[in-house]
Structure 1
């Protein structure tokens, strides 16, 4: 008895592609550009908003909700991207409907809700649009990485990784400048509206360059299923809907209690306890769900196959990806905030002063892939080196003065931290195809990115909670409890107090930011230890670059 057509296609996808199926010429170059634009847009959204949050919160009156503006985006980005749920769902949808239309759909969702963010009239509206913007971003990044792996042979992976790392890092580099410039001119809405024209161009490029049957466009034995077959019960049964729901719910509840605990709800309240318990139960249910559906007898394809847990090196890769997302997101958000709230800089000046950090991430991300491809150095050594350098830089960040001054040494700290983070993020892009099975390429691509974004969301929620709780407990001594509540709505209120009181308030803010950095150092130290999980007898090696015939 023959297999269903969807199963035939899946098996076909799992087989190695023939050289003839790879893209060439103008189509390859333009598709590479469109994929790079996807990564650029998705990653610019964190750094571009970082320099704008103070202006946004002042106009929409919600300093205490700033964490949600970023975290709402990151959580849906995460749960759609990889491990969470939606990201894997996007990967599975691309297996059923092909790569082209899910890819275009994700960009369209991202663009539409970017416009919604730009039109938001309240902080709640902005947060909701950011959540849906994150849903689109999740698919953009995971499918972009999957397509990048599939359109070239393995020996070209270093070049692809360098391009993607460069696009990702470039977004981080120019984001603070765009966000700061727009906010300084009272036009913070263009921080989001900027995505619309660039996103439309990206959609047109994808429509023109991405073959409908990709990655099987040159395989005569491949039979593209009809839309009826794609929408059949048998095809849709492959989607792990229960796993996606459990992962999304567990993540959102955990982040909600971390962000609001001690601010709008007490840590010891029934609400906090119930949220923690329900989140814990959903995490356990998610793990059980993935174990259950990994069994061969089920058609449903788990978003996080149980076999991943049996691969120590791959689990180490994912944990490192998660931990590396924490310092990046916290620095691009908190350092510009600190420059504005504590040192009194304009949004644009704050963005300019973050350039060394973002430039070194860009430089290291590209450089490490070029060097790895040329020398064959083992990824585990690069990860250990980058993690150690990152730890040193972040430890120095936690020693910044609390009097509002900006020491020249901070740029050295940015160089160290950015270089270390760039090394880790850059080399991680090349590891999935060398570790997982062919059938798991789409899932692993999503998982790698989702773990990084989930780490950023989790770390940001923890540090935001620490900051809000620190201010709530230290502000009353300086300005009184009622005024402390007002300060969490808009930092502009600080300017209404006498100079002596302002100094006390700003010192509390600076101490809160230093506390966030100390928390981050703990995560960075753990990352150094986790690199050991990748050490094995047969070390992970990157594919050797083919030499052209003389």
Structure 2
């Protein structure tokens, strides 16, 4: 079994944050996470430029879905490998693969080529984000992790708003290709800082990689995610293609469970779903992904369509989430150390429900300030949910299991984001299709957005139920988490 010496276990000696000995590594992890996060959204405002250069607008949606798909299906594989081969080689491999994909995307000569190169980017991204968070879990104590994970969470939240803005700036003043070329120096800097500042000790032992499980899981998730992403768009929900994709994906999941039961070192051990704390925190992460992407995807459309405000102003309204999230996440440690993880998460989810409820009511009477305030409250709530739930899961297992647990958490968030956006979008598109004015009619935009916000609210309420089912988890004197059930 691989083992790891965990530096930085004494907060009084090392300090927390950027001025400690671990500061440069934290900066590198934030930089790598920011690259991955921004590339998920930076293309949104570059559609005209890319299509004008490469053509074939009908294939453009694949640039988003294929990146998300490649990232989601590779997370469990990298997470397991990081527990056997070590964190450092895997995150460096991910950064290198992401760098290669960025260079190829910038040189793309056709839309199909760009789509293929986005797959390479997504496969690199699948290693970077979860392993970055796992490394933070390794080198910081439970008391320190809330603030550190708050930094990492804020990077993702800010990127969801900054991505489209940067894409527009590059497309307008330089070239859409610089959306990808700008990653080159940043990847090099992040990789160099990790090489020089991150040191781990791994016992070299032989491991049996679960290639069969990895392949079956990839096929299963590919079929299911594509079925959700393309349902109602490329084909009707009740079409043979849609039914076949869902059926095939479900069948492959059954095969995956059978394979994992007999694997010596399964890529996604089934014990993750047999432990109550890990199961509930995984479901919570699923909900967080759906809520976050649901709000950030539909609020700009709602404000621009219903109030005719500029994309910049609508982006600033959504940015209220990026203010609330890190603020709450950085302070959540004091709360869960005092009242426990479960109560902290429940408080956060109640705030998220109130914010989503406010958005639902606002849809009928659009108001910019109310929308921004609602987004801020949702950000506060998610900041009290995402970080404590992840830390509770990480701290309940030893080092050799932490990569799988962290990867499962982020895998669930990615799946929640993909499924949530697809379902919310299908609801809105159904309303648009039934109204002659469609997206150009402010009243129709308000109705469609309101329906999407109600769906977000339902998702938030379901996540409250998952949090309520979570066992009481409190920090022990040895830095591990003990549960009451």
Q: Relative contact order (alpha carbons < 8 A, sep ≥ 6): 1 or 2 greater?
A: 1
Instruction: Report the counterpart of residue 307 of structure 1 in structure 2.
Output: 271
Instruction: Report the counterpart of residue 79 of structure 1 in structure 2.
Output: 73
Any gaps of 5 or more consecutive residues in structure 2? 480-485
When normalised by structure 2's length, the TM-score is 0.85
When normalised by structure 1's length, the TM-score is 0.76
Instruction: Report the counterpart of residue 398 of structure 1 in structure 2.
Output: 360
Q: Aligned match of 1:541 in 466, 472, 475?
A: 475
Is the counterpart of residue 474 in structure 1 residue 474 in structure 2?
Answer: no
TM-superposed CA distance for 1:283, in Å, is 1.4
Listed one character per residue, the Cα deviations across residues 81-107 of structure 1 (whole Å, up to 9, x for unaligned) are 2xxxxxx32234334543332221101
Is the counterpart of residue 43 in structure 1 residue 48 in structure 2?
Answer: no
Instruction: Name the stretch that deviates more: 189-198 or 416-425.
Output: 189-198
Is the counterpart of residue 388 in structure 1 residue 324 in structure 2?
Answer: no
Cα distance in 2, alignment partners of residues 121 and 246 from structure 1 = 32
Listed one character per residue, the Cα deviations across residues 499-528 of structure 1 (whole Å, up to 9, x for unaligned) are xxx43xx54344333322222221111001
| 3-state SS in 1 of match to 2:474 | coil
Cα distance in 2, alignment partners of residues 239 and 347 from structure 1 = 47
Instruction: Report the counterpart of residue 449 of structure 2 in structure 1.
Output: 513
Instruction: Report the counterpart of residue 377 of structure 1 in structure 2.
Output: 339
Q: Aligned match of 1:207 in 181, 195, 204?
A: 195
Any gaps of 5 or more consecutive residues in structure 1? 1-9, 82-87, 217-221, 226-233, 479-483, 485-493, 495-501, 546-550
Closer, same or farther in 2 for the Cα pair 1:68/1:365, shift >3 Å? Answer: farther
Contact kept in structure 2, 1:177 and 1:352, CA below 8 Å = no
Instruction: Name the stretch that deviates more: 411-420 or 47-56.
Output: 47-56
1:479-518 equivalences under 5 Å are: 502-503=440-441, 506-518=442-454
Instruction: Report the counterpart of residue 425 of structure 1 in structure 2.
Output: 386
TM-superposed CA distance for 1:306, in Å, is 2.1
Instruction: Report the counterpart of residue 268 of structure 1 in structure 2.
Output: 238
Counting matched residue pairs gives 474
Instruction: Report the counterpart of residue 5 of structure 1 in structure 2.
Output: none
TM-superposed CA distance for 1:45, in Å, is 3.1
Cα distance in 2, alignment partners of residues 62 and 356 from structure 1 = 35
Contact kept in structure 1, 2:287 and 2:460, CA below 8 Å = yes
Instruction: Report the counterpart of residue 289 of structure 2 in structure 1.
Output: 325
Instruction: Report the counterpart of residue 349 of structure 1 in structure 2.
Output: 313
Listed one character per residue, the Cα deviations across residues 247-280 of structure 1 (whole Å, up to 9, x for unaligned) are 2222221222223233332333222221121111
Q: CA RMSD in A?
A: 3.4
Instruction: Report the counterpart of residue 482 of structure 2 in structure 1.
Output: none
Listed one character per residue, the Cα deviations across residues 183-240 of structure 1 (whole Å, up to 9, x for unaligned) are 56585544444333212211121222233xx134xxxxx5x57xxxxxxxx53xx222
Is the counterpart of residue 463 in structure 1 residue 424 in structure 2?
Answer: yes
Contact kept in structure 2, 1:180 and 1:348, CA below 8 Å = no
| 3-state SS in 2 of match to 1:540 | strand
**Which structure has the larger Rg?**
1
Cα distance in 1, alignment partners of residues 57 and 301 from structure 2 = 11
1:283-294 equivalences under 5 Å are: 283-293=253-263
Instruction: Name the stretch that deviates more: 141-150 or 452-461.
Output: 141-150
TM-superposed CA distance for 1:327, in Å, is 1.3
Instruction: Report the counterpart of residue 240 of structure 1 in structure 2.
Output: 210
Instruction: Report the counterpart of residue 30 of structure 1 in structure 2.
Output: 24
Cα distance in 1, alignment partners of residues 156 and 192 from structure 2 = 21
| 3-state SS in 2 of match to 1:304 | coil
